[in-house]
Amino acid sequence: MKDGFLGFRTSFMLDFVVVALVLIVPILLYSLYMVKYQRRFTLHRNLQLLLGVILLVAVGLFEIDLQFVQKGWQNVVAKRTIPLTEEQFGFVRTVLRIHLVFAISTPLIWAMTIILALRRMPSPPQPCPHSELHKKLGWLSTIDIVLTSVTGLVFYYFAFVAKY
């Protein structure tokens, strides 16, 4: 287990966060379908809060593992059976930086979307004057989390899976 459970030389928490990022996308699409086409506002709120908690726990544990247990992503990459050349390592670092742009902005914008919705929308939730801003923030949050997920998987592939 110390090398993860997806079959590559990573870490348990890295694999855990990869699975969480993949699972989040279909739940999010379902929640958006429910609010946009079925007008199931309370279900949408509950699903979004659940996703928020999953994100917070997964990313929190992941960061603790990566920073304090593994002591940096470089140490995880160093577990590869065939080490990366300097050029490949540079490429992987660039992919990681792109991923971090989305990964860092996502929790901030998710928190803002959730906090404003809980404060400004009625309970049980209904369309209201905050709807217009909520829809903009909601779609921005959606795009951000999808890009976090996609770029995270690209990083995982080039850092741990690719044979080059």
Which residues contribute to the site for ligand HEM (CB under 6 A)?
32, 35-36, 41, 44-45, 48-49, 110, 113-114, 117-118, 121, 125-127, 131, 134-135, 138-139, 141-142
- CB closest to ligand HEM, residue no: 138
| Shortest Cβ 20–ligand HEM spacing (Å) | 15
Tokens 């741990």 appear where? Answer: 160
CB of 127 to ligand HEM, least distance (A): 3
- Choose between 6 and 150: whose C-beta lies nearer to ligand HEM: 150
**What b/e readout covers 119-150, taking b as 16+ CB neighbours within 10 angstroms?**
eebeeebeeeebeeebeebbebbbebbbbbbe
Closer by beta carbon to ligand HEM, 96 or else 121: 121
Exposed/middle/buried for residue 106 (C-beta within 10 Å: 0-12, 13-18, 19+): buried
How far is 19 from 23, CA to CA, in rounded Å? Answer: 6
CB 38 to ligand HEM: min, Å:
11
Q: Nearest distance from residue 54's CB to ligand HEM, in Å?
A: 12
> Which own/partner contact pairs does 86-90 have at CB distance under 8 Å and 24+ positions apart?
88/158, 88/164
**Nearer of residues 6 and 147 to ligand HEM, judged by Cβ:** 147
User: Which of 77/117 has CB closer to ligand HEM?
Assistant: 117
Classify 71 in phi/psi space as left (phi over 0), alpha (psi -120 to 50) or beta: left
Task: Give the nearest distance from C-beta 131 to ligand HEM in angstroms.
Answer: 3
Packed helices 41-64 and 86-120: angle between N→C axes, nearest 10 degrees: 140
User: Looking at beta carbons only, is 49 or 98 nearer to ligand HEM?
Assistant: 49
